[in-house]
Every structure is written in C-alpha cells, then in structure tokens.
Structure 1
Amino acid sequence: MESSEATSEQEVITLEGVVVVGTRAKPRSVLESAVPIDVLPSEDFVKQGGTDLPDLLRNLVPSYNVNAQPIADAATVVRPANLRGLAPDHTLLLVNGKRRHRASVIAWLGNGLSDGAQGADLSPIPTIALKQLEVLRDGASAQYGSDAIAGVINLQLKDSYEGGSFAIKPSIFQAGDGLAYAVAGNIGLGREDLWTNLSVEYGGMNETDRSVQRDDAAALISAGNADVADPAQPWGHPIIRNDIKLFANYGASITDDIKFYGHANYAQKEVEGGFYFRNPNTRPAVFSNDDGETLLVGRLSGTGEVPVVKITNNVPYPVALQQVFSDPNLFTFQELFPGGFTPRFGADTQDASLLVGLKGMIAADVGWDLSASYGRHASDFFIRNTVNASLGPDTPTEFDPGDYIQADTNINLDLTYPLHDMVFLASGLEYRTETFEIVQGQIESWKIGPLASQGFSSGSNGFPGFSDIAEGSWTRSNFAGYLESELRPLDFWTVNAAIRGEYFDDFGSTVNYKIATNYGIADTLKELLSVDPVVDLRARGSYSTGFRAPTPGQQNAFNVTTEFGENNTLVNKGTIPSTHAAASLVGGKPLEPEKSKNFTVGTVVSHTIASITVDYFNIKLEDRLAPTKDFQRGTDITEAQIQQLVAEGITSAGNLQEFRFFTNEFETSTQGVDVILTAPILDGALSLAYNYTETTVTKRNPDILDDTRVRLLEEGVPRHRGNVTLTQAIGDSLGVLGRVNYYGPWYENAVGAQTYGEAFLVDLEVSYALIENLGITIGVNNVLNVEPDNVTWADPDVENFTGAIVGRPFGEYSPYGFGGAFWYTKVGYSF
C-alpha cells in the first residue's frame, strides 16, 4: 500500500487518463486518442495479491493473457504473454516511451500460440516503480517499428524527486503452499533541476504442488518398489529465489533549453521447476528400449552376451538383475536410480539496461531528443537430478547446459515541430542492433558417451546442453526513419498519419504506414444545432500496415526438449534452424518478416455518470512465423537425417524421435471487440472490461502446419475475457474492493486434446488506515477457490478422472492458474 488513505477513487481502467503513447504530439486524454488505450495507474497494481507484473496486468486488461508454466522448459523461466490473441513477440514493450530489450528465452513450449516466441519480459520491473502503465491496443509498427503488430505496452516510471513509500507483502495459497513475500520501497531524491527516483523490490516464492500420484508410479510402489517418491512428479508453480529488482529514473536540467534524462535497471532471480517422472522400468534410452519388456543393460568393458532382465508386473527378474549388479563390467541405471528420477530444471536470470538521453529546443518551436540505450537479458540454465545416460556410471547428476543471452542496442534521434495550431510534425532516425548468443554447456551435458552405441541417450536427460557446434553469437542491425503528423482540421477532429521505412542487413527493406482519426460527433451536433449534447460522443478508427522481423534467436537457435509424444510416451523433440540441412529436406528455408494489416473502428461515449468505449479490431497476418509440425522419425525423418543432426551438434539425435523448425508458411485473421465502461458510484467507482478475440488460420501448408497446431492457434487462449470491479470508501479509514473475473473456454493439447470450460473468479480486498501514512490491506484472489476442469482426455468414460496417467489433475495452460485461493496481506507506509 502506498497511502494510508482507504481511497477508492481510482478506476481500474481509466478513460480520462492522460497518455503519451500512440502519438508524438502533446499528451492527450484517452477519450481524445485516435486509437484504443488502457491507462492503469499504479494504485491498480497495488490493489492486488502477488508481485509479478504480468499476473497483475492480466487481472486488469482482458485482452492480455498469461499463465503459469509448469514443466515448460525455458517458458517456466520467462512466461510468454499474449495481447489480443497474438504471439508474445507481437507486442512491443516501452519504458518511458523508449523501446525495451527482449528476453533471452525462446518459449519452445507455449500451447501453440506462444511456441517459439521471443518477447520482452515484464517480470524484472518492480510495480512500486510505476507511475502508470499504458496499453495501446492497435498496430503501431509505422510509429515504433518491429514487434508492434498486436500493440504496445508503455511503462511510465515515477518521476517525483521527493517523498516515497515502503511496502511488505506476504502471501500464500489457501492449500498451504506457495508462500511468497515481497519487500519494496520507492524514494525520490534531489530537486527539480537534478533528481532521481529509485525503486527496489526483493522477494521469492515457494513451489506449489497440485499433482496426483502417477498411475505408473503407484503401480511400482504396489509392486514393492520402495524407492519411488510420492508424488513421483511434483506439479505446480516453480520456486523463485532471490528475486531482486532495481529501477532508477533520473533527469537534470543542463541549461534552460537542454535536459538530461534516462533510466536504468538491474534484476536477477533463480527459477526452478520440475520435469516429468522417468520410470525406472520403461524410460526409453535410460532404463529400457522396448517399452519396459526388459531393462536396458550396458556393457562397460569385456566381451560376451549381456544378460536379459525381463520385467514382469513392474518387477525386474531378481536373479538376472542381481547378476548385472554383481558384474562390474555391466551396468543398468537401476543401480543409481532404482525408483526412477524426476529432473529439476531452471535458470539463473539477469536483466540489466541503461538509457541516457538529451532533449531540448531549437529556437522556440523545434524539439529534439537524442537517446541511446543498451539492454541485456541472460539465462544460465541448470538441470539437476538427471543423467547423461551414454556416460553410464560416470555420469554427473547435475549439469550446466549453457546460456541464452540477448543484447539490444538502440540509438534514436527524434524531432518535433508544431508547424501550426492545427498541424504537428515529427520525424526521426533509429539505429538498432540485436544479438543472440548461445553459450556452450559443460561437456558432460552434451557429450556422446561410450554407451550411446548400445542404445543409451546422450546429453543431459530432459534438456541436453548446447554443444560446441550449437554455440555461437548472431547479430543483426537495422536502420529506420519515420515521418509522423497530427492534423486538427477542426477543434473536434484529429487525424494522425505516420510512415516508416526500415532496412535490415539480412532481410532488406520494408515500408509501413498508419492513419488514424478521432472525430467529435457531439461537437459537430453542437455546432450545427447550437445545443449542448447530453453526452460527449466520438468516433475513432485506424488502418495500418506492420511487420515483425524474426529474431536472431529464432533464426539460429538449437533446442532439444522432452515432451509427451504419441501413445503418451516421453520422447526427445528438437527445434533446429530452418536453414539446417535436415530441415531443408522437408521444406525448411530462410525466414522472412511477418507482415500485417490492422484495422480498428470504435466509438467513445462519456458523461459525468459514466464513460464507455467500444472498439472493433481486425488483424491480418501474412508470412506468419511459428514452429512447424513435428516431423516423425520413421515416416518424415530418415536415419540419414538423424545422423546428419548428430553431425550438426544435436547430440541426443540418436534418440530424437521428432524435430521441427520455424516457418512462414501460414496466414491468420484475428478479429475482436473491446468494451470498457467506468462510472463513479457513491464514494467509489465501477469498472467493466470485456474482450472477445477470435483467430482463424486462413491459409497454410498442411505438410508443415498440422490440424492440431491450427486448433491451438485458434483456441489456445479464451475467446471471451472480462472483469467487473467495484471499489468503495467507507468513512475516512476503510476501503473495499471486489472484482469478478470471467474466463471463457480454451483448448490445449499438452498431453491430450481437451477443451476446458469457462470460469468465474472473485477477488476481495479490504484496506484500513491505521494511522496517518500507515495502512494495512488484507485480500484474497479467487476467494471461491475455483480450479480448472479436471483432465478427462485419457478416458472420457471414466467419471471424475484425475489425470493420474500424467500426474496432474488440471490443464497445463489454465489462463487463470490452478493454485486455488490466494491470500495476501500488505502493510504500507508513505512519506
């Protein structure tokens, strides 16, 4: 809590707020904007449980989707988020109007829609640093460049040079796990001509476990295997350790006409989650290679036949097993892991950025702004409690698979010129470089060991390390120039236009444009009829073209992961560059930029008793980028291709059952409606927000993009989202908040195809001012303890099936999580 007063005057989505995103002319209100923009003041983030900015934003903006990512490889580390039903890297993130660097993580597992995306990360930003957050729900590539197809999120940092606040927020799930805490502070220092605003947050979270004991693990225990854990496969939110977030916003007046400004951040954390259970009798290429008929036994030295250890009723034949154990020349992984094992995977991440700039005036009218920034995000992966099976008894059980590193540099020059009261002009130049680097992992994490020729898998099981051939650094640079204008033919009519050209050193040139308008219908009637309208009625709309260039990471990264394949068996799947020789045999080719056409039209109605906006949007995407279908070994993949993958450095290729690569082989049409209403009620406010988004794959190559992938793109996030929020002040000290969130059905195919039903979640919060500047808040998200539907795909005829085959009761990608009720307390002091 940042204030001791129990205020309820802030609206969850403010229609009257002043915004700077969407135009380079002077800031204007949301109602006057030519495009739809949500304005979220900092109080809206304070009035929630949790501390992770993506989750808090999801509760406020229905067109924004993000979910928990259990057993999702690198997506667990940086969770992918979607705006208006598009991929995470279709949304551009700005801080104080300046482009922010993207994250190093490529979300290889993202329930279809986010697969392969590499977007920016909101998590390193402490909420206490925010003055307000603006969500531009419109294509803006012509204004801001690549990645702005779905829209723009702009973070406005606090810029006060005096005062501050301090907050402590402990929280826990009603089930008794997931204990989390955050300690945050903000302070302004200096004076008007030399100031800085500093924010810090430190926290962490324990893991949750919503698993059910797997059927195969339960069968092993029933057969007498006392080494199998219960649960064998924990499933829930990951552990977050030492979550440090620092942000600084600063400025100074050098002369009357020149000002220095900038911001910087540093963040780090460790994220650790679980993987799938490796059954000690059946796990391919570790414990068995014939679906558990016999154990996989390796010969370490000497000659002679290897004993056959048959498995009957989940028990290896004891006499033959003892023969293997007693012979130093023979080996089975049941010697190291008699109860199987469940790998633990995660990463240590670091995020840092620095931006400095100078701005001023030439003569009295021409404004100039010169800035330079550098941002870097690094993920140092680790995997524990696993093996490189090809190394046999010499394998480590902890590995450093290597690092992903992303670094961006931006240099911008912007000029503005108010040519006339009715004409505003802006132009600018930009130079940007983007570098993606893969750092080689420890040799044991990717080495092909001596037992590989006997059928044992190579590389750290679950997440093989990056080999000396997969490592590398790839850089792309581009130049851009833009022209932008704002015309006001009438006091109540605004027209915005922009054109932008960019040149990429690997893709060539692209030119995009945008035109948008806001027209005051009520003002027209007033002028024509000489009467004051009851309401302020406006119409607005826009049309634009856009683009998104594939990232260097998407062009060059190798990745091998373990997922459920056909017949519910765990198999190794690889993602390889589209220019890889093996990919070219099945249609792979160099990637092209995605191209979009965006259209919006809407209306704004405001009155002292309420304000409402209704906006329709339509986004057509050509040459859309996404991973292909999985090409199967034995049907799509030849043994020659497998050997080629081995030669190229994917060391587990000998056991690789499937691979995929990025492609531009499809087109989509995404359309929807956003409705936002706010109204003051007594000593509080009512806010309603609703979003409908529908995506259709309009063209595809069925040999590359299969039906399952299409359905995930079309139904992977809810088409219907909405929330209603009511805040009320009771006296001078007490405030209450109630929110109802609605999530429509969604589809997933993580381990089986299933559509999960709709849900209503209720949030409650009570704030009380103890003394001046000191307050306490108690709240609960999901007070009714709503959980997603149970998994039923495995056997629809079995009532109340709990998903014991896969060890979890709920869907993997629930848009509102699966933890149940979440209780929190906040103590805040402001000065």
Structure 2
Amino acid sequence: MNKTLNTLSKSVKYILAASVTTGSVTSSLAIAQDSSQTDNIEKIAVVGSRAAPRSVAESPVPIDIIGADELSKNGSSDMLDQLQATIPSFNVRQQPISDAASFIRPVNLRGLSSDSTLILLNGKRRHRASVIAFQGGGVNDGAQGPDISVIPSVALKQVEVLRDGAAAQYGSDAIAGVMNFVLKDSADGGSVSVRHGEYYEGDGDQLVVDGNVGLPFTRDGSVNLSFQYKTADATSRSVQRPDAQALADAGNMSINSPAQTWGNPEIDDDLTLFGNVKLDLGDDKEFYMFGNYSDRVATGGYYYRNPQNRGGVYTDEDMLLVGAMDGNADACPNILITSDNVLSQQNYIDNVQNNDNCWAFNELFPGGYTPQFTGEINDTSLTMGTKGEIKGGVLDGAFFDLSGSVGRNKSTYTLVDTVNPSLGANQPDDNSFQAGSYIQLEKAFNADLTKGVDLGFYEPVNVAAGLEWRQESFEIVSGEQASWQQGPLATQGFSVGSHGFAGFSPEAQGISKRQSIAAYVDVEAYITEDLLLGAALRYEDFSSFGNTTNYKLTAQYSITDELSLRASHSTGFRAPTVGQANVVNTQTSLVSGELVQSATFPPTHPVSTIKGGRELSPEESESFALGMVYQNGDFFMTIDAYSIEVSDRIAQTDKIDIVQADVDALQGVYPSPELLLGGKITFFANDFDTKTQGIDVVANYGMNLFEGTTKFSLAYNYNATEVEDPGQFTSGFKVRRLEEGIPEHRATFTMNQSWDYVSMFVRANYFGEWFATHADEPDEFSSYGWSETAGSSMTIDAEVSYFVNDNITLSIGANNILDREAQKLQQGGAYGVVSGKYYESGPFDYNGGFYYVKASYTF
C-alpha cells in the first residue's frame, strides 16, 4: 500500500480524511473480508489514527478487523458471544441470578471492567446502558458500560477493535481500548436469514430472524436498513436444594422441584432496528444519519426463600416472625420453631392459622417462594451530521465534520411471586410489583477538522483538531407504592420493599446531570519512508469533578518490507458515571451463605459518608505497548506486549455492616435509621490500584488445500492483573477475583475451508486456569464449596454451509460441539444454596453444547 496521500485521487482523499475525525467513520472504506469479497482486499481500519485509514499492518497500534461474515459463524446471535469467539482478550460470561446484569452482561477487554472500553458506532461514541452491574463478578462490580448486545451482526460491515489505551484520542473510557462497530452502507442488495437452535439438554430454544436491505437515496446516496427479531427460552442447570427437599420430606406439600431455577433468563420479543443513511450534497459534501431502536423483555429467577429460616420475612433467628396486623405486637408473639415443618406445630395452628389478626408469611407461601425478575430494556439512538471539504481560504483542502447525537437506554423492572414483607397480609392480588426504572440519556455535539500540512517530511503531516460537548443524565423513576412502602409490620421485624429488588421510592426519584467539554489536537506523519510518528493531546472539563489532560505518543518503524516494529505510550482516564455517583438500589445478596438485604447509596449520601464515602474522582491510567508486525505473502503475524496501570479504580464496595453507632449518628439526618440496623450497605468509591500486563499474538495464513481455499487463524492473549494497593474497601477475596477471576491464558485457533458449493470452519477455544467462585462469597468459605481454582479447558465450535445457488445458503453448526462440561460446584454449601450445578463465573457457557440450523437468502 502506498504510504503517501499524494497518490490518491482527490475524491478518495476526501473520503479518507473526513472519515477519521473524532466522530466520523466512512464505513465504505472500512473493508471487511468475507466470502463475497476478493481475498486480495486489504483490511482497513479508521480507529487508532486521525490520518487516512491504515491497513492493520501499517497501524502503529494493534487493531483487529472482524468481518460480519466471521461474526455470524456462531451458534449465538448475541454480539457479546460472537466477539468472545474471535477476540481472545475479550471476555464475557452468563450471569444467572444477578439482577439486571443477567440481561445486560458486562464485558472485559484485557481484564479491565466493561466501562474501561470505549464503544463507538460508525465512529461516534455509543451511549451507556442504564443497567449498573451490582453483581459484576468482581472485575465488573458496579460497572456501567454500553449495551453491545443490541447490535446485530446482520447490520454490520465489520468491527474494529483497537487494543490500546486511547483516551487522549477519544476521551473517557478508552483505558483498555476502543471497539468501533461499522454499519453496512451499501445502496443495493440485501439478505434475510432464519436461525433456530437449542442446547443439547433440550432447552434454551432460540429463534432468530434477521434481514438487511440497501436502497439508493438519490444518485450517490444510500439507505441501509437492518432488523433482528429474537426469542429464547430459559435454561435450567438446577438441582433441588437440600433444604427444600428436607421440607418436603418433613411433610410440607407446597415445595416445588426445583425450588429455584439456575440458568439463562427467558427472552421475549427482542426486536432491533438499525438504519444508516448517506446523502451526497454535492461540492464534495455529504449528509449522514444513523441510529437504532431496540426493545426486549427478559425474565429470570432469584434465590429461594425458605419458610423455616428466611430472616425478615419468615423468621427472626430461630423464631417464626408473627406480625400483628392491628399494630399491637404484644398480641402476636413470635413462635419458637421446634420442628422441621412449622406448619404442623400446634402453636402455629392455634396462634396464626386460626387467628385473623396474627400473620405469618407461611399462610401465603407455605412452601416458601422464589421471586421472578423481569426487565424491559428499551434502547434508542440517533446521530446526524455533515462532512466535506473546505474550498478556498486558509483552510483550503481541509476536511470538516459537524455532528450531533442522542442516545437513551431505559430499563424497567417488575417482580412477581414475591412480597413486601412489611405489608403483611395486604399484598397486591397477583403478588406483582412494578419496581421502577433507570434511564440513561446522553447528548453530544462534535466539530472536527483535519488537514495535511507539508513540512518537508516524506509525507504531509496530518493535523486534526476538534471540540466536543457532551451531556449525560441518569434518572431514577419510582416504582408503584407497594414496592417501596413501609407497611404496618415494618417496626415488627419485617423487611421493607418488594423482596429481591426493592422498588425505588419517591425520595430516590430524580434526574442527575453532568456536562463536559473537550478539545483535542492530533498530528501524525511518515517522517521518512520507514518511520511513522504520531502524537495526540486532549483536554476535558467536567461540571462534576473538574478537568483532565491526557496525551498519547505512537511510532512505527519498518525494518524491511516484511518486518516492522511499533510502540505507544499514553495516559488516560475514566470519568465516574453519573449513575455510579447517584444510584440508589436495594437488592438481596448472598453474605456468608445467607440472603440479606443490601442497600446501595450514592457515595455522598449521609449513610455512605459515615462509612467513609466521598465524592468520586476519575480513574487515571498510564499505558505502554511494544510490538512487531511481520507480513510475507499469505502469512501475517503481530506480537504486542502491553502494560496498563490504573489508579483510584472505581468500584462498588464490599457489603458493610450497619451497627448501632451508625444508627445513633444518623438520627435526625436520615429518616428511620433504625430500619438499617443489622443490614448491609454499599456505595461506589475510588478504592484500589491495579497493574495489568499481557501479550497479544495474532497470526493468519492462507493456502490451497484439499482442492479448495484454506485459511488458518491463531489468536492468543496472556493477561495478568495485580492489585498493587487494595485500598480501604477491597477485601482479600475481591483482590483474588480481580487477579484470578479471568483466565490469564486465552487462545483461539480457526480453520476455514471453502470449495465451490461448500464451506466449513472449525474453531478451538482454549481457556487457562481461573478462580471459580459463586456470587460474593468470601474465600474462607472455599472448604464448603464456594470457590476453588479451576483447571484449563477447551471447547470446539464447527459449522458447515452448502450453497444451493448464488442466493440460498443452508448451514448447520454447533458451539461446544463436544459438550465440554463447565466447572461443577463442589458438593457442599454453595451446591445447596445456589441450586445450580456449575460455578457462575466460568469463562465459557455453562449450559453445554448448542446446535443450530440456518437458512440465508441474499439478493
């Protein structure tokens, strides 16, 4: 590829330059290799540089290019699973019984939290999800990243993954790297496909229908539209809890089997629409617009509430909680539990069952209950802008990009089969509670300029500069009154709020906002034919915590035509989200094997401040990277080593006890502080420092084999994180999860084989050792089955496609085709409480093998 821009035609030069400003990507030049394109086309990326888009080999920072065809070769239709199968440094896991994190799963790039990776759509910053991962598996505790799962592969031309710190180029969140999702923009053709699959166990039945169409929009414009509709049944990898079975054996006839379900949530009516519009305005100028609408409903289960020992609902230590509905607690004393089935005790029959005033929840749910949690996730976005070449004046030949964008994500929560214990007998007729909503809203305006300046070097120096304004808001919408109300039994030992996930009260309702402005300058050029140098500087000022300035330096030197070395150094930051600074939440958590109510408050809330909470400040990072690129004929290989130091990392604290001294200090400051006594609270804090080091190896080789075309791909990642300063709130158990919870070694090896009428691929996925644990249980419970070190494992994926003709393709395939079993829980404490067979923190799908069939029609 010629290194100079002077050899490009004026029109192509315009497209290249205009596409690389901060908020703009011209996806027509970000070419993804797939079966419909020639093998000789060089993959081009626009992230990582604001000069003309460069090939992967010429980039001074490591970039992966993943075509849409490659993404679709997966049994899962979820973008997260598709990316994990192709990027070894990218990790995601299923999270059963994890509140809303079960529906919007947090991800990890290079072992850092999900909100440490910046997500772009067509080069524009993607808005965050409204969901905060309160049970984020250690690494993602409290993370609030974008919802990548709403982006369907059918809408994409390719995905560009920049594996390098880039906050100085793109702003907050780009500590681990940047992922740019490039939408299709063709003006003709299209496709429709239907895919059906299920797990080997016979559950999790999944149906996906998707399509794409390109249409002309005036002579040189286009409208490209995509849709995906999906439904998925729940899965169950459950065992009957020993305590529930013991109740059944003791004569309790109201026990379900299993008492609780451990598995994937059910997904209903998951509909996503994407559009990408381009319009030629003439005179080398263009209008563009793209956006999405997505909506889905997901339902998952919670933990089982045992009618013999669930504190705050059924019991108070070894006593059955009995509430007086008339408020006279002395008339309804608690009952000592003396048998394995309290329903058979005569004092229960006399004093509760046959007493209209005295109430126990055994009357409503004699066999206990398992709340069901439903989330409706609605996601919308729209970006509009114009770009083109300036003609005349001092900026003659420069390229501009002006754009505005808005993104909104709303999550609404409903609980069924649960209670507000403080209401006693006065529960809603259907035991259903609408708990309220979170809404994340983001707006942005960008003005970007780029121009080549001849300073006598081998290539003109590309100078880019720009301004950005952003506003981010986080809103809490209160739930219905029954979901948060303090009922008549609140002062008699009964918990307050819908159990499992308490509704948001009017006191919690409100909108919190933050604004920021940023300015950047970026320069890059080939100083000689073999030496590429670049530098970027970015200043941002936030209305909440103040300003920050970051820089980045890059270099690449070509030793020979085949071999080059590259390096980068940068500083970065991640601003605390408005949600992390202002969220209020009450949930049920596992602590020392027991279910307890745990409340999350803002760090500046009076309850938080007495425990050490203070206003959040940005995380700060420093990154170093050194790599090599080798390309000879059909063989291509990159090796990149990196080091990322992050200080003052923001995370949710461990559960903190509220004691009598805290209650005394809160008198007159917080209403009814005595209701907090004996409970747990958490908040967000800048608490610990980490150092992450690793190596990425990517290799590809093409050849002719078996009278067809063969491509081999190898990708390997070694990633190790060390907690250098655990801070005030980070326990030793969490340190271990941060350091060992994700495998240090990950690799994929893929073989693609194609003939005239048949194509196939086989992919091996390797996962190294990892720290297997459940929920937030401390390490000292490992001897009771809560945690252990799990060994390495490998899964195999495969797919075969038959081309019936030029338009119709039939495919059959499987993920984990050999049905490799996930790490099993030890027989013991966790096995009984979790009611599941496997650890929830595994690096691959615990549900086992999944097979699918697919039919596609292209036109």
TM-score above 0.5, yes or no: yes
| Matched-pair contact (CA < 8 Å) for 1:790–1:803 | no
1:414 aligns with 2:448: yes
Structure 1 range deviating more: 819-828 or 295-304? 295-304
1:828 aligns with 2:853: no
1:224 aligns with 2:224: no
1:348 aligns with 2:348: no
Instruction: Tell me the TM-score normalised to structure 2 length.
Output: 0.90
Whole-Å separation in 1 of the counterparts to 2:679 and 2:464: 54
Structure 2 counterparts to residues 651-666 of structure 1, below 5 A: 653-654=675-676, 657-666=679-688
Hey, what does 2:763 align to over in structure 1?
739
Structure 2 counterparts to residues 624-773 of structure 1, below 5 A: 624-634=649-659, 638-640=662-664, 647=671, 653-654=675-676, 657-682=679-704, 683-701=709-727, 703-729=728-754, 731-747=755-771, 748-750=773-775, 751=777, 752-773=786-807
Whole-Å separation in 2 of the counterparts to 1:49 and 1:696: 34
Hey, what does 2:190 align to over in structure 1?
164
Hey, what does 2:412 align to over in structure 1?
380
Pick the aligned partner of 1:486 from 524, 533, 538: 524
User: Structure 1 counterpart of 2:384, which letter?
Assistant: V
| Cα distance, 1:511–1:10 mapped onto 2, change above 3 Å | farther
What percent identity do the matched residue pairs reach? 43
Pick the aligned partner of 1:64 from 90, 93, 115: 90
| Matched-pair contact (CA < 8 Å) for 1:270–1:347 | yes
Whole-Å separation in 2 of the counterparts to 1:656 and 1:189: 63
SS of the residue corresponding to residue 789 of structure 1 reads coil
Whole-Å separation in 2 of the counterparts to 1:645 and 1:709: 32
Whole-Å separation in 1 of the counterparts to 2:355 and 2:729: 49
1:104 aligns with 2:133: no
Structure 2 counterparts to residues 612-627 of structure 1, below 5 A: 612-627=637-652
Whole-Å separation in 1 of the counterparts to 2:834 and 2:385: 53
Superposed displacement of residue 40, structure 1: 0.1
| Matched-pair contact (CA < 8 Å) for 2:423–2:488 | yes
SS of the residue corresponding to residue 475 of structure 1 reads strand
1:371 aligns with 2:396: no
1:815 aligns with 2:843: yes
Superposed displacement of residue 629, structure 1: 2.4
Structure 2 counterparts to residues 289-304 of structure 1, below 5 A: 289-290=316-317, 293-301=318-326, 303=328, 304=330
Q: Which runs of 5+ in 2 are unaligned?
A: 1-32, 778-785
SS of the residue corresponding to residue 130 of structure 2 reads coil
Superposed displacement of residue 49, structure 1: 1.0
Describe the superposition over 1:238-282 as per-residue Cα deviations: whole angstroms up to 9, x where unpaired.
011100010000010112222101201000000110000000111
1:783 aligns with 2:810: no
Whole-Å separation in 2 of the counterparts to 1:351 and 1:143: 27
Structure 2 counterparts to residues 80-479 of structure 1, below 5 A: 80-191=106-217, 192-290=219-317, 293-301=318-326, 303=328, 304-306=330-332, 308-316=334-342, 317-323=344-350, 324-363=352-391, 364-396=396-428, 397-420=431-454, 421-479=459-517
Whole-Å separation in 1 of the counterparts to 2:664 and 2:579: 27
Hey, what does 1:520 align to over in structure 2?
558
User: Structure 2 counterpart of 1:188, which letter?
Assistant: G
Whole-Å separation in 2 of the counterparts to 1:94 and 1:43: 20
User: Structure 1 counterpart of 2:849, which letter?
Assistant: A
Whole-Å separation in 1 of the counterparts to 2:688 and 2:40: 37
User: Structure 2 counterpart of 1:412, which letter?
Assistant: N
| Matched-pair contact (CA < 8 Å) for 1:757–1:788 | no
Superposed displacement of residue 655, structure 1: 6.5
Query: RCO greater where, 1 or 2, for CA within 8 Å and sep 6 or more?
Result: 1
Instruction: Tell me the TM-score normalised to structure 1 length.
Output: 0.93
Whole-Å separation in 1 of the counterparts to 2:511 and 2:759: 53
Superposed displacement of residue 195, structure 1: 1.4
User: Structure 2 counterpart of 1:502, which letter?
Assistant: E
Whole-Å separation in 2 of the counterparts to 1:14 and 1:510: 44
Hey, what does 1:580 align to over in structure 2?
605
| Matched-pair contact (CA < 8 Å) for 2:774–2:839 | no
Q: Which runs of 5+ in 1 are unaligned?
A: 1-6, 524-535, 796-801
| Matched-pair contact (CA < 8 Å) for 1:168–1:827 | yes
| Cα distance, 1:655–1:273 mapped onto 2, change above 3 Å | farther
Whole-Å separation in 1 of the counterparts to 2:789 and 2:296: 34
SS of the residue corresponding to residue 187 of structure 2 reads coil
Structure 1 range deviating more: 754-763 or 773-782? 754-763
Whole-Å separation in 2 of the counterparts to 1:726 and 1:441: 52
SS of the residue corresponding to residue 60 of structure 2 reads coil
Q: What RMSD over aligned residues (CA atoms) do the two structures have, in Å? A: 2.0
SS of the residue corresponding to residue 522 of structure 1 reads coil
Hey, what does 1:18 align to over in structure 2?
44
Describe the superposition over 1:355-383 as per-residue Cα deviations: whole angstroms up to 9, x where unpaired.
00000111251000000000000001111
Superposed displacement of residue 302, structure 1: 7.2
User: Structure 2 counterpart of 1:666, which letter?
Assistant: F
| Cα distance, 1:669–1:308 mapped onto 2, change above 3 Å | closer
Whole-Å separation in 1 of the counterparts to 2:36 and 2:84: 18
| Matched-pair contact (CA < 8 Å) for 2:694–2:720 | yes
| Cα distance, 1:645–1:248 mapped onto 2, change above 3 Å | farther
Hey, what does 2:17 align to over in structure 1?
none
Whole-Å separation in 2 of the counterparts to 1:770 and 1:98: 39
Hey, what does 1:799 align to over in structure 2?
none
User: Structure 2 counterpart of 1:58, which letter?
Assistant: Q
Instruction: Give the length in aligned residue pairs.
Output: 798
Whole-Å separation in 1 of the counterparts to 2:483 and 2:606: 24
Superposed displacement of residue 194, structure 1: 2.6
User: Structure 1 counterpart of 2:590, which letter?
Assistant: F
Whole-Å separation in 1 of the counterparts to 2:838 and 2:642: 33
| Matched-pair contact (CA < 8 Å) for 1:646–1:653 | no
| Cα distance, 1:255–1:803 mapped onto 2, change above 3 Å | same
| Matched-pair contact (CA < 8 Å) for 2:128–2:147 | yes
Superposed displacement of residue 644, structure 1: 7.5
User: Structure 2 counterpart of 1:557, which letter?
Assistant: V
Superposed displacement of residue 586, structure 1: 2.2
